[in-house]
Amino acid sequence: MDSIAQRGEFVRLSRAPDLDGLECLTARFERHRYAPHIHETFAIGVVTAGAEAFRVSGSQQYATCGDVIAVNPEELHDGRAAEDSFTYRMLYPSTRLVREVLASSTVGRSSCPRLAGPVIRDSVVADELVRAHSLLELGAPDLIAHAAVGRAIELLFSRHGERRAPGPRSRVVAPEVYDARAFLDTHSESAVTLAALAGRVGMGRFQLLRAFRSAFGMTPHAYLTARRVDRAKRLIAAGNAVRDVAADAGFSDQSHLTRTFKAWTGMTPALYRQAVRT
C-alpha cells in the first residue's frame, strides 16, 4: 500500500493477489481528470465525499456522497470532480472473481454477469462495499477480508445485477471488426497503423474506424492504448522496473508511459509499483 499527495489530492492503492489481483483504490481528486478509458475488470466503489462527474458510454453521470459507482468491464468512461473535489473507494474485481463469488448463488447463472449501474443509490450495498474495502486496505486476515469481499459482491449483484443474459446485439457488427480487436489484444506492444490494421482484416481505413467506434465506443487507437496500459500494469506487478516497461508495453519512452498511465489510472507507474510491491 502507498500513497501520493499533491494540492490536497491523494491516491492510495493496495492489491490482493489471492483474489485474482483485486485492486483496492482510495483517492481524493480536485484537478485530476481521468482520460476516457476502459478496464478489463469491473470498477465498483462508493463516493465518500464530494461528487464525481463522469461519462459512461457517452452518457453523462453524477455520483454524490454515498452513491455506488458500478462500471462493467470494457465500458468506456472518464471521471473528474463535479465541483471542488471528490473522494472515493474503488474495487476492481475481475470477471473471473465475480463468477467465483456468484457460482453458488442464483445470481451466478448468467455466464456473463453485468451490473445495471453506473450510479446506484443503495446504502446497504454501499456500507458493505466500504467495509470490504476498508478490511482489504487495512490488511485484515484473509478469512475476514475475503469473506467481506464475497458478501459485498454477492449483495451488489443480487440487488443490482442484470437479471437476464445479454440478448442479441441491436446492430450487426462485421466479423472483421472483431478480428481487428483480437489483433490489437495480442499485439498491443507493437507499432500498429490504421492502414495496416485495416488491410489485415480486409476493410478500408475509415470504414474500419467508423465500424470499430460504433461497435466498441472508441477508436482503434484508444483501444490499443487501453491494452498497453493493462500490459504495463501486469509487467510492473510482475516486478519489472518502470524504466524497462515502456518499450515492452508499446510506449515510445518512459515519459510517454508516465503521462498515459497517470491519465488512465490516476497515479504514476512508480507509485503503482510501490503499491503492488507492498
Residue 209's CATH number? 1.10.10.60
The phi, psi pair for 4, rounded to 5°, reads: -135, 140
238-266 pLDDT per residue, tens: 999 888 999 999 999 999 999 999 999 99
- Among candidate residues 120, 135, 160, the one where a domain is terminated: 160
Q: Which residues contact residue 208 at a Cβ distance below 8 angstroms, ignoring those fewer than 6 apart?
A: 176, 177, 180, 194, 197, 198, 201, 220
Q: Are residues 215 and 261 in the same domain?
A: yes
- Among candidate residues 103, 133, 160, the one where a domain is terminated: 160
113 prior amide bond cis, ω within 30: no
Q: Are residues 180 and 126 in the same domain?
A: no
Residue 92 lies in a domain: yes
Q: Are residues 71 and 193 in the same domain?
A: no
Q: What is the dihedral of CA 153, 76, 29, 270, to 10 degrees?
A: 90
Q: Domain with 91 in it: what CATH number? A: 2.60.120.10
Residue 11 lies in a domain: yes
- Among candidate residues 132, 160, 188, the one where a domain is terminated: 160
What is the mean predicted confidence (pLDDT) over 185-193?
91
86-139 pLDDT per residue, tens: 999 999 999 999 999 998 776 655 556 899 989 999 999 999 999 999 999 998
Predicted local distance difference test score (pLDDT) of residue 3: 46
Residue owning grid cell 492503492:
13
How many domains would you assign to the chain?
Answer: 2
Q: Which residues contact residue 94 at a Cβ distance below 8 angstroms, ignoring those fewer than 6 apart?
A: 20, 21, 22, 40, 41, 42
Element (H, E) at 58: none
54-65 pLDDT per residue, tens: 999 889 999 999
Q: Are residues 225 and 120 in the same domain?
A: no
Q: Are residues 156 and 197 in the same domain?
A: no
Q: Are residues 102 and 194 in the same domain?
A: no
Q: Whole-angstrom Cα distance, residue 168 to residue 53?
A: 31
Pair 50, 82: CB distance under 8 Å: yes
Domain with 17, as residue range(s), is 2-160
Residue 253 lies in a domain: yes
Q: Confidence class of residue 7 from pLDDT cuts 50, 70 and 90? A: low
Q: Are residues 154 and 190 in the same domain?
A: no
